[in-house]
């Protein structure tokens, strides 16, 4: 058993654990760090960013989570980041309206990475259980080299406050172990549901011109995003195909290899309709399907900022499931939770 995080001898301010390095965890972490708190962020993924995800493989770079967002999705408290060099307007070849989208460079996961710059973030650490004793929190964690092969048991703490930003159902599982504290948060997190969705990643060993984005080309596909058209991406033809929620749900039990093959056939037909006449579209150098269990929010918890904090303790929740199901909701919920935690800690001292 080894120990990570928690009291660091000279710390003058409270120690705060944030579970999850997605947008909600990062916006909260940045806010609390700026207020002088000692923040530790633990995330079970191997790269930070959660659903702002990029898979880099075989010289390809696939943004298979959020593909882009709008400037209006950055909350007022963070508006200054829109002038940061890691964010760029995109795409450049569509209408003025569509141009108002933003991507981060060199990858979509660069956005949460940059938000978390300077914070103490540990990836590949799965929080299995939370404990509360003597007015402080401890986390039981497992470090994994892959999801199924635990490497070592660890614990972290003590922490004066904990912010949970995992999707609602995963947050609920963690709060359950803390009962009776957090019972209202548990009730709210348990009612949250998501739609699952497949993203199919297709990469070729050549470059050819193709549209930046194709919307709703078939009933199976919600969106095709051309990775090569994004700034500072590898110069190879590569697509992320976002399957429709309806088709994803119906085909959830299909092996991922089969899903990828079905979608590849559709992609070939669609590209030829768009005049992309290149040999080899049916034989990509890279083909894979990613299944998002918690993709887009269906039922939010509907929590006000005040209700994000437990009334009897210093655990709080944030994430796109709190109120609004997207980039804006995730970032704002993190800032709101951070404010609630800070107020409560200040009132205690
Ligand atoms: C395919 C796809 C397309 C999307 N398209 C758009 C779009 O066009 N526009 C838009 O605004 N939004 C889009 N979204 C939604 C957007 O990505 C999310 O709303 C936002 O990223 C949620 O951020 P979050 O911090 O709340 O959660 P997440 O990003 O899910 O972060 C939660 C983190 O918690 C970690 N975690 C969970 N359990 C544990 C545990 N027990 N221990 C440690 N860590 C744990 C996870 O690893 C994860 O990193 C899309 C999402 C997907 C998947």
Ligand 1 binding pocket mutation candidate from 22, 123, 300 (most atoms within 8 A of CB): 22
Ligand 1 site, residue 323, Cβ cutoff 6 A: no
- Summarised one tens digit per residue, pLDDT across range 179-190 is 999 999 999 999
Residue 1 in this model has a pLDDT that exceeds 50: no
pLDDT level of residue 150 (50, 70, 90 thresholds): low
pLDDT per residue as tens digits for the range 300-321: 999 999 999 999 999 999 999 9
From the CA of 42, give the closest atom in ligand 1: 43
Per residue in 70-99, pLDDT (tens digit) is 999 999 999 999 999 999 999 865 555 556
Closest Cα to atom 27 of ligand 1? 22
CA distance 172 to 200: 29
**Ligand 1 probe mutation, 50, 128, 337, most atoms within 8 A of CB:** 50
More confident residue, 81 or 145: 81
For residue 154, the model assigns a pLDDT of 75
Average pLDDT in the 205-217 region? 93
- The answer to whether 2-52+112-192+300-348 and 56-108+195-296 have equal CATH topology is no
Inter-axis angle of helices 23-34 and 327-348, nearest 10: 40
Q: Is the CB of 43 under 6 A from ligand 1?
A: yes
Of residues 109 and 150, which shows the higher confidence score? 109
Ligand 1 close to Cβ of residue 21 (< 6 A): yes
**Residue with CA at minimum distance from ligand 1 atom 35:** 20
pLDDT of residue 148: 54
50-64, 85-99, 269-283, 311-325: range with lowest mean pLDDT: 85-99
> Would the CB of 116 count as within 6 Å of ligand 1?
no
Q: Does 259 sit in the ligand 1 pocket, CB within 6 Å?
A: no
77 C-alpha vs ligand 1 centroid, how far in Å? 20
Q: How confident is the model at residue 155 (pLDDT cuts 50, 70, 90)?
A: confident
- Dist. CA 115 → ligand 1 center (Å): 15
- Stretch 14-30: mean pLDDT, rounded? 98
pLDDT at 349 (0 to 100): 72
Of ligand 1's atoms, which has the minimum distance to the CA of residue 69? 9
Q: 56-108+195-296 maps to which CATH number?
A: 3.90.660.10
Q: What's the fold here for domain 2-52+112-192+300-348?
A: FAD/NAD(P)-binding domain (3.50.50)
Domain ranges of the chain: 2-52+112-192+300-348, 56-108+195-296
Find the mean pLDDT for residues 267-274.
95
Tell me if 334 CB under 6 Å of ligand 1.
no
pLDDT of residue 285 exceeding 70, the answer is yes
Ligand 1 touching residue 23 (CB < 6 A): yes
Q: Is the CB of 200 under 6 A from ligand 1?
A: no
Is the per-residue pLDDT at 2 higher than 50?
no
Of 59, 30, 7, 65, nearest to 206 by C-alpha is: 59
Ligand 1 atom closest to the Cα of residue 173 is 41
Strand ranges (E), the chain: 2-4, 15-19, 38-43, 55-57, 60-62, 87-90, 101-104, 120-123, 125-133, 136-146, 149-159, 161-164, 193-203, 213-215, 221-226, 238-243, 286-299, 315-317
pLDDT tens across 116-132, in order? 999 999 999 999 999 99
> What mean pLDDT is reported for the chain?
92
**Residue 9 clears pLDDT 50, i.e. is over it:** no
Distance 49 CA to ligand 1 centre (A): 7
The per-residue pLDDT for 238 is: 97
Probe ligand 1: pick from 109, 110, 166, max atoms within 8 Å of CB? Answer: 166
Kindly report the pTM of this predicted structure. Answer: 0.94
Rounded to the nearest angstrom, the distance between the alpha carbon of 22 and the centre of ligand 1 is: 6
Coil, helix or strand for 88?
A: strand
Calculate mean pLDDT across residues 242-248.
98
* 13 pLDDT tier (thresholds 50, 70, 90): confident
DSSP string, 29-81: HHHHHHTT-EEEEEESSSSTTTTS--EEETTEEE--S---B-GGGS-GGGGGG
Residues of the chain with pLDDT > 90, as a percent, come to: 86
pLDDT band for position 10 (cuts 50, 70, 90): very low
pLDDT at position 278 is 80
Q: Which residues have C-beta within 8 Å of that of residue 26, sequence separation ≥ 6? A: 41, 48, 112, 115, 116, 119, 334
Average pLDDT over residues 236-259: 97
For position 146, what pLDDT does the model report? 54
């Amino acid at each position: 058993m080894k120990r990570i995080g928690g009291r660091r001898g000279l710390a003058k301010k409270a120690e705060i654990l944030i579970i999850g390095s997605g947008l909600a965890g990062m916006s909260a972490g940045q806010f609390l760090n700026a207020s002088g708190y000692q923040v530790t962020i633990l995330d079970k993924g191997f790269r930070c960013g959660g659903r702002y995800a990029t898979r880099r493989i075989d010289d390809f770079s696939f943004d298979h989570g959020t593909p882009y967002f709008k400037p209006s999705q950055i909350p007022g408290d963070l508006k200054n980041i829109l002038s940061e060099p890691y964010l760029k307007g995109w795409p450049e070849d569509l209408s003025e309206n569509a141009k108002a989208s933003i991507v981060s460079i060199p990858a979509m996961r660069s956005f949460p990475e940059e938000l978390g710059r300077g914070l103490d973030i540990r990836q590949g650490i799965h929080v299995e259980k939370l404990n509360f004793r003597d007015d402080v929190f401890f986390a039981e964690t497992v470090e994994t080299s892959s999801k199924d092969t635990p490497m070592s048991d660890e614990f972290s703490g003590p922490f004066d406050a904990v912010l949970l930003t995992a999707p609602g159902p995963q947050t609920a599982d963690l709060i359950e172990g803390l009962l009776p504290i957090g019972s209202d948060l548990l009730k709210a997190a348990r009612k949250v549901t998501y739609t699952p969705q497949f993203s199919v990643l297709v990469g070729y060993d050549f470059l050819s011109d193709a549209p930046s984005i194709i919307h709703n080309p078939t009933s199976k596909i919600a969106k095709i995003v051309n990775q090569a058209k994004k700034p500072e991406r590898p110069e190879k033809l590569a697509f992320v195909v976002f399957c429709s929620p309806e088709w994803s749900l119906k085909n959830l039990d299909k092996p991922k290899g089969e899903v990828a093959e079905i979608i590849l056939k559709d992609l070939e037909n669609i590209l030829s309709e768009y005049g992309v006449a290149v040999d080899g579209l049916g034989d990509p150098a890279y083909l894979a399907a990613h299944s998002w269990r918690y993709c887009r929010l269906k039922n939010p918890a509907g929590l006000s900022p005040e209700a994000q904090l437990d009334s009897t303790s210093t655990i709080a929740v944030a994430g796109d499931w709190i109120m609004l199901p997207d980039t804006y909701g995730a970032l704002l919920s993190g800032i709101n939770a951070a404010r609630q935690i800070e107020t409560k800690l200040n009132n205690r001292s």
